Structure 1
Amino acid sequence: MLDQNLFMLVLIIVIGLIFDFINGFHDTANAIATSVATRVLKPGTAVLMAGILNVVGALTGTAVATTIGKGIVPPSVTTQLLVIAALLAAIIWDLITWRFGIPSSSSHALIFSIVGAGVASAGWQAIEVGGLTKTFQGLIFSPILGFLGAFLLMILLLWIFAKMRPMLVSRIFGRLQILSAAWVAFSHGGNDAQKTMGVITMALASYYGWTGSNWSVPLWVILAAATSMGLGTCIGGWRVVKTMGLKVVELRPINGFAAETASAAIIEVASRLGIPVSTTHVISSAILGIGATKRLSAVRWGVAGNIVVAWILTIPVCVFLGWIIYLLLHLVTGIR
């Protein structure tokens, strides 16, 4: 007979990879929306490129995975049921926002679902302040930096290429945008895929009793999470692509290059510092920053407002979902 804890561990791995797959198609827009909107890349080509580079990026480090895996809830109080509840809560919110084409944050959905499940399991005292601080730093500063970075880079590019014919500028940046889109896809994999690596390693640590220096992300977990996200990205989240690339502001290749380059640089730095950021937050803020260089009326602020509302709602909704799902699972199974 299969050991109950082993069964739950296998279940967590399966659910975790499903979450990564959903994250891949939910967040496809982050890497390809601007390049599709500017018609630099055909949708099929853009999705395939994003899928491959998501996998490559996911293999480049585990700093974010460590923050997620033991920086929100310590290994000493992590249980298999807690991890299952957090994953289910994040998946539910991802599917709801995907269904309505809302570019919400899969990253913060998972983090705050862990918080909710952790509170239900062991109380607020079980939540690590340091890990939450990193999360809130990413939540607050990454969209601000995305907006300002894209705004300033766009102003610089407009100044440099002011005397060049618009058609030639579009041709130059049409080629450069392929590189910037590739960098966004790479950096997206390097930050977002690590969230699931961290959660699966949480479950492994709970099962095997890993603490301190024993806590590390196994290579097979890295490969599985990377592949799952890459496959999800290849499916494509076209509802979100439409919102991100076509509804916020009209883009040209030079705009797309500036937005993608600023976004990728911010995400890459955050990944190396172990800060879980939302690629959705960063790229959508960068697109708003591009719009602001034209004129404030160039940005469709109603759509931007809906995006901000989704960001704000993610925190309390996912804390509640993680909390209630844990309690329901505990009630039904009697397991902690």
Structure 2
Amino acid sequence: MEIRVFEINDNIKEETLEKLDKDNIKKIFDKIFQSKNMEHLKISCYANDDSIIREYNTNRETFKLKLLAEKLQAAENKKDGTRNKQITEGYLFVKHEKHRLFLLKLENIEVVDKEKNYEMRNSFSIEADYYKGCIFKNNIKDITIIDKNKSIAKYWREDFLSLSLNRDEYTNSTELIELLSGDDLFSNDIKQQSNFNDIKNRTENFIFENDTFDKTNLGNLLRTKKLITQTDLKDIYSEKSKVLDTEFTLSKKAVKEKYKKTIRISEDTKICTDNYAKLFRRQGIKYEDGNIILPVDDELISELPKELTNND
């Protein structure tokens, strides 16, 4: 096993590591990449012809791991070669094993104590700290990338690793929601309509209320509701939407990840919902006189703590 660490900003600096450094860094990899960690996006990809993962796979014995740092630095730069200030600087951690390669970018190095051999501080948390990762297990057609943000960063998947998505219901659903939220699902003509927000809301309801997504069915619904008049799919949907399959099963996991929300109401109390947009839209939550009011579905009243339902 080989472990390397590179600090990447305007320059690349490789850290000198002792045995204890590597032991502690291995613990960081184990914590973040553990299979039960559900606190990040995890997407399956395949390597494009120009992917650095493909290059690594072809020349494992002679491949220079520093090339990964150089490739990442280039991906974080603008076209003129200067650093893109919108991309957070960080450290690239590389763990190379006989049949596996793990890459991890930590965007908040303060959660690791470099003075104590890269020991994780108490503040280290897979729930809060931003990171990006890649897992290659000897199959260039099935490479896993992860991102603690709500979507996979373009510079990480495309510019650095040159990976394409393996299309499945989760990938389709995730991209559908991202296209919708970014106003990239529909054509320019539809986006310019005065009722565009109504179209977006109706589309979200379609996602929440159906098990499958079908471009034709959504178009028919929008016309039935008199929100659009266009009949041809190319006049309804954007060029960017062509990445989606015309029809696919909607992933409940993807919907939950994109619409879940946590509302903190005190230091020790928070309200969590798997679909805040749906909850808010059906007036299932409101703020009134310093209180958050939530109605309880009839079939769940019996599951409430007894002290809440005691009339005395």
Answer whether TM exceeds 0.5 for this pair.
no
**Shorter-normalised TM range:** under 0.3
TM-score by length of 1: 0.19
Structure with more of its chain in helix, by fraction: 1
TM-score by length of 2: 0.20
Structure with more of its chain in strand, by fraction: 2
Asked which structure has the greater CA Rg, the reply is 2
